[in-house]
Amino acid sequence: MSEITHRTIETNGINMHIAEAGQGPLVLLVHGFPESWYSWRHQLPALAAAGYHAVAPDVRGYGRTDAPQPIEAYSMKNMTADMAGVVDALGEQAAVVVGHDWGAPIAWHSALLYPDRFRAVAGLSVPYTPRAPMPPTQLFKQVFADRFFYILYFQEPGVAEAELQADVRRSMRLFLYMASGDAPPGNFALKPKDSKFLDGMPEPEKLPPWLTEPDLDYFTAEFERTGFRGGLNRYRNMDRDWDELPQLAGAHVQQPALFIAGERDGVIAMNPSGIETMKQHVPNLRGVVMLPGAGHWTQQERPAEVNEALIAFLKGL
Q: Which residues are catalytic?
A: 101, 296
Instruction: Say how far apart CA 162 and CA 11 lie, in whole Å.
Output: 30
Residue 303's nearest CA partner among 39, 28, 32, 18 is: 39
CB 209: neighbour CB atoms within 10 A? Answer: 8
Compute φ and ψ for 219, nearest 5 degrees.
Answer: -60, -45
User: For 56, which DSSP code?
Assistant: E
Range 11-15, long-range pairs (CB < 8 A, 24+ positions): 11/81, 11/82, 11/85, 11/86, 11/88, 11/89, 12/78, 12/81, 12/82, 12/84, 12/85, 14/60, 14/65, 14/66, 14/68, 14/82, 15/65, 15/66
32 vs 188: CA distance, rounded Å: 19
Helix (H/G/I), strand (E/B), else coil: 90: coil
Contacts (Cβ under 8 Å, ≥6 apart) of 193: 144, 146, 147, 148
